């Protein structure tokens, strides 16, 4: 890689017009196996090894280059071309050469367009550079190898997935396992040479059903670890299947939520997702410079953005919380910059943003958060988001505080959000500066001591600045949400770690739902009876 | 092998079928049969029940390996089953198909993911149950929209929507994919390393795709089928850039029903070296110029041009019912409405024969016992003494023709199957030696005072172009007026003294079914051309989810009055950086 990089860089610098001032190659090698099953049968097995390459060629100067963002339009140069998985010099060098040529052409073409554009438009408010200088890094880490017991897991998936046969109300269900190693090789013309990697393993349990009124319902649970051998034992996974099935069965019978404004508690996992969506995406550095973005926090550095008992850290160096493996750690980001902890909010005050090598006003350097999925261009992204609180109380106390707040506001009930699958947030200026998160398990917590009641079909809606001001207190127990976050630079592994939070006011609205009837014919075989005759 | 084909014997009454078949021993067929029985009772409010339900389950086990310059790029083993449920409501005269929204999933799609690979009767039933429910709801929605659309249209002629056919019972065992993956990966790696001897190439690759499996088909008319559907191939591709920036390319492919039928390394090495040499020669060849006059399609180019231009036109897709003012993707056939008309000189006959398994001791690639609608095919006369006698038909009736002739070979549009050729056998009673064809070509150009004639030895069909290039060709052809034809890969100028010169960058203009009326002569060198037929433009390689094995057997052809025109693409500059050196080991 470095030979071909140097050769291309040297010749292009000499002969090309405009010449490049920077080139980098990143090769991502992914080796994976997966098995998925339903009701005691295997529905797919697969695996393979791939190497994808991402070439970055910069022409112009660090002040203005081909990656310059023109009102929301980002340059796309890499295509994530597949490279030989074997260390064959002919095959690899040829492909690198072709991709460098292709990326160089589109880089040179875009630079000309940008130069024209900057001449006809008014000056941008943030006139920071397009690319930061970072010291070269050399690191050769030990690389992971994929370990996966195919036969063992095939049997386990059959056994685990057949456990759903105990739940006749579940219409479709799946249990899958995947194990993967992700190795990255990175070289650039500054002299950086890095190899590093890590493993990912995951069990995903999903179930769906359809209520009599047509509402589609689904529940899921996931378990993550660095290696497949670190995934939970069958009894834990079985308990997960029981929870997923029981939740779904309860949801089928639950009443539909009504639009509501009032106090609520987010469980630690739900609060993690809430912070990831509402806060995390708004401190991604590149959004502060892009004039099509809402720039909620761009000018808030040094000012209070959260209650002063909350701090928010993004820490890619943290691998575990308690005994739970975190999903969002890495040693180096996709620009070859070492991942480092970033204290974004310190005691309520905004400190800094998540930075890639694209500088913004006041922040000239990367803090190791330039990330991508192979085939996408790097932007600043979240890693492990960790919410810390100095106003924490035991969970029972937090619940009492919720009930007190409900009474104070003269509401019949408050809400408890146990699980949130994900959400959307619009950060662009043209859209509403609002968010919507999708809770799966929501309870009404009554002020008069009635038992909690599960409701379905609610979406949380709100605006970010207003929501943060309404956080009253947190619990003293951190919970972990592991997942994958999708944005401009593709899907990247992340975690969100938070205590449960109490908010004085949240708004929910009715979710859009399907008008289709449930299946017209009853199930061909009652699931209970099938166990005895299944092969 | 036990022959289990039985025709007829089952009564059809108004779409409701009483199957007299003994329960099948196969758990897949058994679960399909049992769930089918129940699906007849499907009904929503006061809307109609299905008059026809069909389950088509494809099963596939594939091994792919691809390499470039001696390094493996991809290697994958994949097993899957894919279920297609066809539910028809209404009746044979008028149903939910042949409407622009037919086949579109309206409403609920249950979260079924992939169809189970294990044969657990109960789980199979569950999957069939939910998939049928979705298909039925979509069918009911489609027929009501179709009726609404027709309210505002005047219909000249009512053609039925579905043809009756005899139920068929045919069960054959599937073959298990037995392949030495390691050995094959080694062969593909070694074959791809051949291209490292040609530094002038820009890209090259060799890939193996070995697949085994088949399909199950059960319908409510009593048809019950399990038949193998098999295909393996090794394909090499290479490209280079000419000094003016133009990309030139060539490919070679070996196809077989069974992976053991792929030739040995010696034969493949020879072919792939020829591919590399062709590309290098093309990169140095002069650019072609405008030409109009006789063209000789020699060797494989004869059957290629027949497969692409005539073969495709024997299919008659039906224009779907549309809401007024809406458009739908639809390509009509140039042969529509031309029964009895001349398509070739009267020395020509064309038969499509899926039942023929061999030709001169060579296996025919396009043979099959039953099509994907469960219809048993017979030999079909398409052209007799140069006159059009028939079409390739599925169970979708077309104007003037009702009743399938067993050519519903691929998934089609708007709820119907697409038709395709099987073994298309083209014969001419007036064949002359191939050398005679070239002499004739030279005579013709001499008579017209032309400096040279054109010989085409290979067409890019099925096309090895990139998706972007294919898109450009389609767009370019539309402005030209005629339906596009793939590019000639190997075209030569032949001068009066017999000397030949390779040229690049030509395309045909106005080459269509009518051109075959100007066939001057056919050679006595009949060539068998195997290919993967698909619904993609130019049968573009890798662009279609389903391909059908097909063969065209035909002679070299000398055709008069064809036009060739240089490509007018904008050409990229050559790379600033020269290619990296290739090490020999």
pLDDT (0 to 100) of residue B4: 32
pTM (predicted TM-score): 0.91
The continuous run of DSSP H or E covering A2 comes out as: helix A2-15
Q: What is the mean pLDDT of residues A52-65?
A: 95
pLDDT (0 to 100) of residue A422: 73
The continuous run of DSSP H or E covering B123 comes out as: helix B121-151
Q: How far apart are CA B464 and CA B538, in angstroms?
A: 9
pLDDT at A363 over 70: yes
> Is B550 in contact with B530 (CB distance < 8 Å)?
yes
Q: Which chain A positions have a beta carbon within 8 Å of B79's beta carbon?
A: 44-45
pLDDT (0 to 100) of residue B21: 47
Q: pLDDT tens per residue, chain B (585 residues)? A: 233 333 333 333 333 333 444 445 789 999 999 999 998 877 776 778 899 999 999 999 999 999 999 999 999 999 999 999 999 999 999 999 999 888 888 877 788 889 999 999 999 999 999 999 999 999 999 999 999 999 887 777 789 999 999 999 999 999 999 999 999 999 999 999 999 999 999 999 999 999 999 999 999 999 999 999 999 999 999 999 999 999 999 999 999 999 999 999 999 999 999 999 999 999 999 999 999 999 999 999 999 999 999 999 999 998 899 887 777 777 789 999 999 999 999 999 999 999 999 999 999 999 999 999 999 999 999 999 999 999 999 999 998 899 999 999 999 989 999 999 999 999 999 999 999 999 999 999 999 999 999 999 999 999 999 888 888 888 766 544 557 899 999 999 999 999 999 999 999 998 999 999 999 999 999 999 999 999 988 999 988 889 999 999 999 999 999 999 999 877 888 899 999 988 765
How many pairs of residues across A and B have Cβ atoms under 8 Å apart?
179
Q: Give the CA distances from residue B297 to residues A20, A253, B285, B508, B559, in Å, rounded to whole numbers and listed in that order.
A: 49, 71, 20, 13, 8
Which pLDDT band holds residue A120 (cuts at 50, 70, 90)?
Answer: low
pLDDT (0 to 100) of residue A531: 42
**C-beta atoms of B111 and A174 within 8 A:** yes
Which pLDDT band holds residue A375 (cuts at 50, 70, 90)?
Answer: very high
**C-beta atoms of B120 and A534 within 8 A:** yes
B71 vs A86, A105, A208: nearest CB:
A86
pLDDT (0 to 100) of residue B18: 34
Q: How far apart are CA B552 and CA B393, in angstroms?
A: 18
> Is A23 in contact with A56 (CB distance < 8 Å)?
yes
Q: Do the strands A370-371 and A379-380 form a parallel or antiparallel pair, or are they unpaired?
A: antiparallel
Question: A530 to chain B: nearest residue by CA?
Answer: B122
**C-beta atoms of B107 and A514 within 8 A:** yes
- The A residues from 512 to 531 touching B (CB cutoff 8 Å) are 514-517, 519-521, 523-525, 527, 530
**C-beta atoms of A42 and B122 within 8 A:** no
pLDDT (0 to 100) of residue B478: 54
Count Cα atoms within 13 angstroms, Cβ side, for B571.
16
Q: Which chain B positions have a beta carbon within 8 Å of A84's beta carbon?
A: 67-69, 71-73
At how many degrees (to 10) do helices A2-15 and A89-120 cross? 40
B196 vs A43, A90, A101: nearest CB:
A90
What is the nearest CA distance from A44 to chain B, expressed in angstroms?
6
pLDDT (0 to 100) of residue B253: 97
pLDDT (0 to 100) of residue A534: 35
Q: Give the CA distances from residue A222 to residues A201, A217, B116, in Å, rounded to whole numbers and listed in that order.
A: 10, 17, 22
Give the distance, in angstroms, between the CA of residue B295 and the centroid of all CA atoms in the same chain: 26
Count Cα atoms within 13 angstroms, Cβ side, for A509.
8
Q: How far apart are CA A175 and CA A158, in angstroms?
A: 9
Which pLDDT band holds residue A122 (cuts at 50, 70, 90)?
Answer: low
Does residue A117 belong to the interface with chain B, where contact is any CB pair within 8 Å? no
At how many degrees (to 10) do helices A234-253 and A150-162 cross? 30
Q: How far apart are CA B544 and CA B534, in angstroms?
A: 6
**C-beta atoms of A85 and B73 within 8 A:** yes
**C-beta atoms of B117 and A45 within 8 A:** yes
pLDDT (0 to 100) of residue A287: 87
CB within 8 Å of B98: residues ≥ 6 apart? B146, B161, B318, B320, B321, B396, B414, B415, B416
**C-beta atoms of B42 and A43 within 8 A:** no
Question: A527 to chain B: nearest residue by CA?
Answer: B122
Q: How far apart are CA B501 and CA B495, in angstroms?
A: 8
pLDDT digits (tens, 9 = 90+) for A421-472: 777 777 777 777 778 888 889 999 999 999 999 999 888 888 877 888 899 9
pLDDT digits (tens, 9 = 90+) for A159-195: 999 999 999 999 999 999 999 999 999 999 999 999 9
Instruction: Determine which of B31, B123, B572, B573 to mutate to test the interface with A (most A C-beta atoms within 10 Å).
Output: B123
> Is B498 in contact with B327 (CB distance < 8 Å)?
no
Q: Coil, strand or helix: which one is B472?
A: helix
**C-beta atoms of A36 and B114 within 8 A:** yes
The residue that leads in pLDDT, A488 or B443, is: B443
Which pLDDT band holds residue A260 (cuts at 50, 70, 90)?
Answer: very high
Which pLDDT band holds residue A532 (cuts at 50, 70, 90)?
Answer: very low
pLDDT digits (tens, 9 = 90+) for A8-30: 888 888 888 899 999 999 999 99
Least confident of A147-161, A279-293, A342-356: A279-293
What is the nearest CA distance from A217 to chain B, expressed in angstroms?
11
The continuous run of DSSP H or E covering A435 comes out as: strand A435-446
């Amino acid at each position: 890689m470095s030979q071909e990089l140097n050769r291309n860089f040297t010749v292009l610098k000499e002969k090309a017009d405009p010449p490049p001032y920077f080139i980098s190659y990143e090769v991502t090698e992914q080796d994976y196996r997966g098995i998925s099953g339903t009701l005691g049968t295997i529905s797919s097995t697969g695996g393979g090894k791939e190497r994808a390459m991402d070439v970055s060629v910069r022409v112009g100067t660090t002040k203005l280059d081909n990656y310059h963002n023109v009102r929301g339009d980002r340059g796309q140069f890499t295509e994530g071309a597949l490279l030989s998985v074997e260390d064959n010099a002919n095959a690899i060098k040829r492909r690198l050469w072709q991709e460098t040529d292709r990326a160089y052409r589109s880089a040179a073409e875009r630079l000309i367009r940008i130069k024209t554009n900057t001449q006809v438009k008014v000056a941008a408010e943030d006139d920071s550079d397009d690319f930061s200088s970072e010291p070269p890094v050399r690191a050769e880490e030990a690389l992971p190898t994929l370990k996966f017991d195919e036969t063992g897991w095939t049997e386990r998936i059959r056994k685990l997935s057949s456990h759903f046969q105990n739940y006749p109300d579940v219409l479709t269900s799946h249990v899958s396992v995947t194990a993967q190693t992700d190795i990255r090789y990175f070289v650039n013309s500054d002299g950086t040479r890095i190899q590093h990697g890590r493993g990912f393993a995951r069990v995903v349990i999903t179930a769906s059903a359809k209520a009599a009124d047509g509402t589609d319902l689904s529940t899921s649970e996931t378990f993550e670890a660095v290696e497949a051998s670190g995934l939970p034992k069958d009894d834990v996974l079985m308990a997960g299947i029981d929870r997923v099935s029981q939740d779904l069965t309860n949801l089928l019978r639950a009443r539909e939520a009504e639009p509501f404004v009032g106090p609520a508690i987010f469980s630690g996992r739900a609060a993690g997702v809430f912070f990831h969506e509402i806060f995390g995406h708004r401190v991604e550095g590149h959004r502060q410079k892009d004039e099509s973005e809402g720039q909620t926090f761009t000018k808030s550095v040094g000012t209070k953005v959260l209650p002063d008992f909350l701090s928010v850290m993004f820490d890619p160096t943290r691998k575990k919380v308690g005994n739970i493996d975190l999903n969002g750690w890495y040693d180096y980001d996709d620009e070859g910059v070492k991942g480092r902890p970033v204290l974004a909010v310190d005691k309520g005050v905004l400190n800094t943003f998540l930075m890639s090598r694209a500088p913004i006003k006041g922040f000239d350097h990367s803090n190791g958060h330039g990330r991508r999925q192979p085939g996408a261009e790097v932007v600043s992204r979240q890693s492990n988001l960790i919410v810390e609180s100095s106003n924490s109380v035991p969970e029972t106390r937090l619940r009492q505080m919720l009930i007190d707040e409900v009474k104070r506001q003269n509401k019949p009930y408050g809400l408890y959000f146990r699980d949130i699958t994900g959400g959307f947030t619009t950060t662009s200026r043209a859209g509403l500066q609002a968010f919507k998160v999708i809770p799966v398990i929501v309870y009404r917590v009554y002020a008069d001591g009635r038992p909690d009641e599960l409701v379905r079909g609610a979406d949380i809606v709100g605006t970010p600045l207003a929501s943060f001001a309404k956080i009253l207190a947190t619990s003293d127990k951190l919970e972990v949400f592991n997942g994958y976050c999708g944005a401009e630079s593709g899907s990247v592994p992340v975690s969100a770690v938070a205590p449960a939070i109490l908010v004085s006011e949240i708004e929910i609205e009715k979710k859009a739902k399907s008008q289709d009837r449930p299946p017209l014919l009853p199930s061909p075989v009652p699931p209970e009876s099938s166990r005895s005759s299944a092969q | 092998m036990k022959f289990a084909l039985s025709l007829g014997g089952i009564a059809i009454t108004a779409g409701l079928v009483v199957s007299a078949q003994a329960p099948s021993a196969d758990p897949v067929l058994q679960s399909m049969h049992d769930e089918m029985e129940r699906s007849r009772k499907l009904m929503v409010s006061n809307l109609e029940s299905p008059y026809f339900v069909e389950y088509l389950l494809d099963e596939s086990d594939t091994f792919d390996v691809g390499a470039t310059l001696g390094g493996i790029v991809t290697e994958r083993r994949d097993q899957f089953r894919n279920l297609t449920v066809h539910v028809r409501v209404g009746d044979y005269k008028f149903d939910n198909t042949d409407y622009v929204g037919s086949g579109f999933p309206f409403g609920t799609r249950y979260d079924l993911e992939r169809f189970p690979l294990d044969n657990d009767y109960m789980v199979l039933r569950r999957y069939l149950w939910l998939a049928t429910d979705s298909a039925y709801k979509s069918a009911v929605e489609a027929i009501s929209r179709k009726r609404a659309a027709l309210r505002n249209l005047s219909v000249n002629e009512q053609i039925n929507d579905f043809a009756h056919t005899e139920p068929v019972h045919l069960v054959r065992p599937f073959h298990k994919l037995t392949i030495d993956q390691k050995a094959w990966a080694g062969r593909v790696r070694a074959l791809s390393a051949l291209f490292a001897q040609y530094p002038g190439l820009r890209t090259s690759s060799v890939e193996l795709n070995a697949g085994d499996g088949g399909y199950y088909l059960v319908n409510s008319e009593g048809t019950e089928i399990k038949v193998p559907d098999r295909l393996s191939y090794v394909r090499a591709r290479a490209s280079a850039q000419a000094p003016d920036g133009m990309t030139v390319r060539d490919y070679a492919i070996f196809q077989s029903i069974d992976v053991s039928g792929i030739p040995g390394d010696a034969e493949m090495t020879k072919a792939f070296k020829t591919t590399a040499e062709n590309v290098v020669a093309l990169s140095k060849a002069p650019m072609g110029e405008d030409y109009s006059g006789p063209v000789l399609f020699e060797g494989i180019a004869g059957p290629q041009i027949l497969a692409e231009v005539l073969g495709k036109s024997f299919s008659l897709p039906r224009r779907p019912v549309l809401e007024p003012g809406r458009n739908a993707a639809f390509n009509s056939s140039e042969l529509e409405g031309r029964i009895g008309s001349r398509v070739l000189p009267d020395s020509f006959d064309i038969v499509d024969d899926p039942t023929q398994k061999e030709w001169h001791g060579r296996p025919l690639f396009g043979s099959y016992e039953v099509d994907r609608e469960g219809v048993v095919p017979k030999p079909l006369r398409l052209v007799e003494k140069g006159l059009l006698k028939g079409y390739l038909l599925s169970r979708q009736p077309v104007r003037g023709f009702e009743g399938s002739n067993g050519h519903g070979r691929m998934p089609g549009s708007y709820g119907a199957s697409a038709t395709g050729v099987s073994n298309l056998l083209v014969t001419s009673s007036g064949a002359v030696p191939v050398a005679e064809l070239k002499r004739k070509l030279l005579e013709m150009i001499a008579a017209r005072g032309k400096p040279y004639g054109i010989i085409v030895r290979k067409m890019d069909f099925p096309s090895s172009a990139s998706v972007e290039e294919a898109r450009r060709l389609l767009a370019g052809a539309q402005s030209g007026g005629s339906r596009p034809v793939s590019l000639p890969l190997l075209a030569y100028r032949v001068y009066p003294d017999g000397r030949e010169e390779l040229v690049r960058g030509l395309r045909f203009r106005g080459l269509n079914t009518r051109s075959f009326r100007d066939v001057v002569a056919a050679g006595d060198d009949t060539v068998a051309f195997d290919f993967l037929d698909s619904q993609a433009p130019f049968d573009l390689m890798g662009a279609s989810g389903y391909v059908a094995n097909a063969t065209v057997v035909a002679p070299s052809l000398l055709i008069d009055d064809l036009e060739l025109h240089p490509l007018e693409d904008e050409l990229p500059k050559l790379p600033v950086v020269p290619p990296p050196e290739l090490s020999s080991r």
